[in-house]
Amino acid sequence: MIVGLSQNGFAEEALRLFSKMMKESSSVRPNYVTFLGVLSACSHTGLVEDGYKYFNEMEKTHKIKPMMVHYGAMVDILGRAGRLSG
């Protein structure tokens, strides 16, 4: 659901849903796909600092080791924000 929202122009809604999921459900756990959707949403809304926060939470809080796609999403976040130098 989060990935679908973030890829179809509803990035802010995707982030709200993720936040609600984390606050209200002890039985629903994010996985690597969930975090990919969250990072994509951050990229499309220009939320660089939030992107860093979620990326770090993946491993520290949720014990999900970042995969190449997550690093790619971080590059996308930084690139869209003009924070990559060539």
In a domain, 86, yes or no: no
Residue 6, C-beta contacts closer than 8 angstroms, at least 6 positions apart: 14, 37, 38, 40, 41, 44
Q: And the tokens for 68?
A: 């190449």
In a domain, 70, yes or no: yes
Provide the domain count of the chain. 1
Q: Tens of pLDDT along 22-71?
A: 999 888 899 999 999 999 999 999 999 999 999 999 999 999 999 999 99
Structural domain for 32, as ranges: 2-80
Three-class HEC string of the chain: CHHHHHHCCCHHHHHHHHHHHHHHCCCCCCCHHHHHHHHHHHHHHCCHHHHHHHHHHHHHCCCCCCCHHHHHHHHHHHHHCCCCCC
In a domain, 12, yes or no: yes
Structure confidence at residue 20 (pLDDT): 95
Question: What distance in Å separates the CA atoms of residue 61 and residue 72, rounded to the nearest whole number?
Answer: 21
In a domain, 85, yes or no: no
pTM of the model: 0.94
